[in-house]
Amino acid sequence: MAFRQDDGPGLPLYLSEPGRAVADFGLYLATRPLAPRLPKGDGHPVLVVPGLLADDVSTLALRRTLRRLDYRVHGWGLGRNIGPTALCVNGLRDKLDYLHGRYRRPVTIIGWSLGGIFARDLARRSPDSVRQVVTLGSPFRLTRYSQTRAAKVFDRYSHLHVEQRTLPLEPEGVPLPVPATSIYSHLDGIVHWQTCLDVPGERCENIAVTASHLGLGHHPAALWAIADRLAQPEGEWSPFRAPTFLRPAFPKPAEPAPGSPVAAVDSAA
């Protein structure tokens, strides 16, 4: 069944999210012996921001993987993510300033879902402090609340938010001032996958994987794509190309829904 872009993911995808996330973690465990084949890092700092209602525990597998690749990896350290509260907004800005000052190098920010929206905000505010942004299932192109099944949960904490957002979340045609990679899944059961698509450009791209929304932070294909993007030399950027033996893990783009403002371009194709 095809879903309009105005709709959120179908009920079967939504209800199967927890089970599929567990399966994704099983794939992560099964492929850990292949970890030495991941591209190595250069030691630059990485900040990982969790999604809505999640905390640093949710990003533990991702952070451990990147730490083994020699990055200086940090969780956000702000507890559970319940939206743009004063603690979140000020804490993230302070964290980025601290990491940039401590390592004297620009910071890669990886944001999962809502965390990716925050990551893009940070990059616009402090581009000199940010090396690149990688988002995981982040609906930064959201134009209607019906495109996500997390809207009611987000609104539950709106009385604590110090920033009130309007739709669309980001204007089209205004790319980030730093390299940006959006990792998304056509099987996302929380947000409509087309809301995660950036407009491809000289330093921005979209990479599709076959993960659940809740499994994007530990799915093996997502981890490979993240490691590949982070391993690029500072100041250099080239589009993602999956190695031959991993091509099946990165599906070709699907056709965009009629009237979609963004073409579904998958740089891994």
Sheet containing 72-75, strands listed edge to edge, beginning at the edge strand earlier in sequence: 72-75, 45-49, 107-112, 130-136, 180-185, 204-209
pLDDT digits (tens, 9 = 90+) for 61-85: 999 999 999 999 999 999 999 999 9
First to last CA, the chain: 24
Distance (Å, rounded) from C-alpha 215 to C-alpha 133?
A: 19
pLDDT of amino acid 31: 94
pLDDT tens sequence across 183-241: 999 999 999 999 999 998 899 999 999 999 999 999 999 999 999 999 999 999 999 99
pLDDT confidence bin for 174, thresholds 50/70/90: confident
Output the pLDDT for position 252. Answer: 78
Residue 107 — very low, low, confident or very high, per pLDDT cuts 50/70/90?
Answer: very high
**What local confidence, expressed as pLDDT, does residue 200 receive?**
87
- Kindly tell me if the per-residue pLDDT of 265 is higher than 50: no
Confidence class for position 253, pLDDT limits 50, 70, 90: low
pLDDT of residue 165: 87
Residue 262 has pLDDT above 70, yes or no: no
Strand pairing of 72-75 and 45-49? Answer: parallel
Band of residue 261 on the pLDDT scale cut at 50, 70, 90: very low
CA distance 226 to 62: 9
pLDDT per residue as tens digits for the range 30-39: 999 999 999 9
Mean pLDDT of 142-147: 94
For residue 111, report the phi and psi dihedrals to the nearest 5 degrees. -125, 130
Q: Which H/E stretch holds residue 205? A: strand 204-209
Coil, helix or strand for 91?
A: helix
- The values of phi and psi at residue 136, to 5°, are -120, 105
CA distance 60 to 217: 9
